[in-house]
């Protein structure tokens, strides 16, 4: 094992409540009800954050992502308290993203979030079609989505991501393209564009809606990608498109196998120590249990140190999601392993037409991008291969 160069450090903060739970959502989110314990949760989160900053051992934070749930349900003062606590440990020019719903109540707080230090907003639009929004169980409508983009710009946000889905219940190809055209008409510089999937432990999984057939979903993806490319939003990850310089730095750090602290119920973290050991950990998932555990000390559960096989698989699982793939040097820098450990597997994937290389960088081909699970299976430790 070679020495590990410490990667950039991010921070993920999880705020777990939504107005109501969407039927397709498998995230750790909970319907807010009448009186979510925002104040108690904030105190637990601030204590958690204090412990996380100590864990970082003086390293500065380059990116922050406030996710959920719907973080924009939290009062501005709560977000300001968190970012004030972080301020001494933030790199100059740190990217600070917050997820938000396009509902009118949340949009009224956008200026306050911007003044508190949030500089990138991610709006969960999903669709601009009212009938499709109802089928998805969303609490906003088309008008509120359009108004939210305007409100974000008026609040001073220049970096705005729109979340948009396709392959929705009973959605036609024309409807999918109309949704995309509306997003493009708003002048977005970053789009998260992904296909609806039916995840276990969701309402849609238990009672599947009528989805477009596989050929229609494939045509939606192909035609949308062509339109995005034509207007200068380049695909840089499987579901992410951006104009030059507008990529999400926080997510890029994930995909480049960087480090990130974690605070909040169910949040996951990854940290490399000065000896080159790579650790993963997570927090208790249930908000009430998380708050109780934090009151007694810590909510950490299941910490583990990544072994060689873990490092290889997790690096490839992340880096090969990127259209640009990864430089050969990055593999050793982030895993601490000799590149020759994986070269035989990469050579086989090159022969199969799933990867391409110029000698200094490996990336998926178009075929490989469509069969990423097949590629990753080659790196599973029980395959008997060099990885």
Q: What is the mean pLDDT of each run of 10 residues along the chain (387 residues)?
A: 74 95 92 85 97 95 96 94 96 97 86 97 97 95 96 96 98 98 97 96 95 97 97 96 97 98 97 94 96 95 95 98 97 96 97 97 95 95 52
pTM, full prediction? 0.95
Domains of the chain, by residue range, sit at: 9-253, 327-387
Tokens of 254: 């994930």
- With beta carbons less than 8 A apart as the criterion, state whether 299 and 290 touch: yes
Task: Mark residue 113 as left, alpha or beta (left: phi above 0; alpha: psi -120 to 50; beta: remaining).
Answer: alpha
- The two beta strands, 300-305 and 240-242, are unpaired
240 forms beta bridges with 192, 237
How far, in Å, CA of 199 to CA of 166, rounded?
A: 15
- Using alpha carbons, select from 193, 263, 273, 271 the residue that is nearest to residue 227: 193
Q: What is the DSSP letter of 119?
A: -
Do the strands 90-100 and 240-242 form a parallel or antiparallel pair, or are they unpaired?
Answer: unpaired
Q: Note whether 118 and 66 are within 8 A (CB).
A: yes
Alpha-carbon distance values, 324 to 146, 186, 361, 371 (Å): 33, 27, 8, 16
Distance from C-alpha of 98 to C-alpha of 91, rounded to nearest angstrom:
17
Pairing mode, strands 120-126 and 300-305: unpaired
Chain centre distance of CA 310: 21
Which tokens is 96 given? 């600070």
- Beta-strand (E) ranges in the chain? 9-15, 17-18, 30-31, 61-68, 90-100, 120-126, 159-166, 190-195, 234-237, 240-242, 259-263, 268-272, 278-283, 300-305, 326-327, 355-357, 361-364
Q: If we measure between CA atoms, which residue out of 112, 113, 136, 111 comes closest to residue 124?
A: 136
- The yes/no answer on whether domain 9-253 falls in CATH 3.20.20.70 is yes
- Within 10 angstroms of residue 287's Cβ, the number of other Cβ atoms is 24
Q: What is the pLDDT of residue 385?
A: 44
Strands (E), 17-108: 17-18, 30-31, 61-68, 90-100
d(CA 153, CA 168): 28
pLDDT for the residue 34: 67
Q: Rounded to whole angstroms, how far apart are CA atoms 269 and 261?
A: 5
Whether the CB-CB separation of 347 and 378 falls below 8 Å is answered with: no
């Amino acid at each position: 094992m070679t020495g590990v160069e410490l990667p950039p450090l991010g921070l993920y903060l999880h705020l777990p409540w939504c107005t109501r739970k969407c039927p397709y959502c498998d995230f750790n989110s909970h319907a807010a009800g009448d009186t979510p314990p925002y104040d108690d949760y904030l105190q637990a989160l601030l204590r958690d954050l204090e412990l996380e900053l100590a864990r970082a051992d003086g390293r500065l934070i380059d990116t922050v992502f406030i996710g959920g749930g719907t973080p924009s349900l939290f009062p501005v003062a709560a977000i300001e308290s968190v970012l004030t606590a972080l301020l001494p440990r933030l790199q100059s020019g740190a990217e600070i993203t917050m997820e938000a719903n396009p509902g009118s109540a949340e949009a009224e707080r956008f200026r306050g979030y911007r003044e508190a230090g949030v500089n990138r907003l991610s709006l969960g639009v999903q669709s601009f079609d009212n009938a499709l929004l109802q089928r998805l169980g969303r609490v906003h409508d088309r008008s509120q989505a359009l108004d939210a983009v305007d409100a974000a710009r008026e609040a001073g946000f220049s970096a705005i991501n729109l979340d948009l889905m396709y392959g929705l219940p009973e959605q036609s190809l024309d409807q999918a393209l109309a949704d995309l055209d509306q997003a493009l008409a708003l002048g977005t510089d970053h789009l998260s564009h992904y296909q609806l999937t039916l995840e276990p432990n969701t309402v849609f999984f238990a009672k599947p809606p009528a989805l477009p057939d596989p050929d229609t979903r494939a045509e939606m993806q192909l035609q949308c990608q062509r339109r995005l490319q034509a207007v200068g939003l380049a695909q840089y990850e499987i579901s992410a498109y951006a104009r030059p310089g507008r990529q999400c730095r926080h997510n890029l750090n994930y995909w480049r196998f960087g480090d990130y602290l974690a605070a909040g119920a169910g949040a996951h973290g990854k940290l490399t120590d000065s000896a080159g050991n790579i650790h993963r950990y997570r927090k208790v998932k249930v908000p009430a249990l998380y708050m109780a555990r934090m009151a007694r000390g810590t909510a950490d559960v299941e910490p583990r140190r990544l072994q060689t096989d873990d490092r290889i698989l997790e690096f490839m699982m992340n880096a090969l999601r990127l259209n640009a793939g990864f430089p050969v040097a990055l593999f050793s820098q982030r895993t601490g392993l000799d590149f020759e450990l994986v070269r035989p597997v990469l050579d086989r994937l090159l022969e199969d037409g799933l990867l391409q290389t110029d000698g200094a960088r490996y990336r998926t081909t178009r075929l490989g991008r469509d069969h990423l699970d097949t590629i990753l299976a080659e790196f599973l430790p029980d395959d008997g291969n060099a990885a």
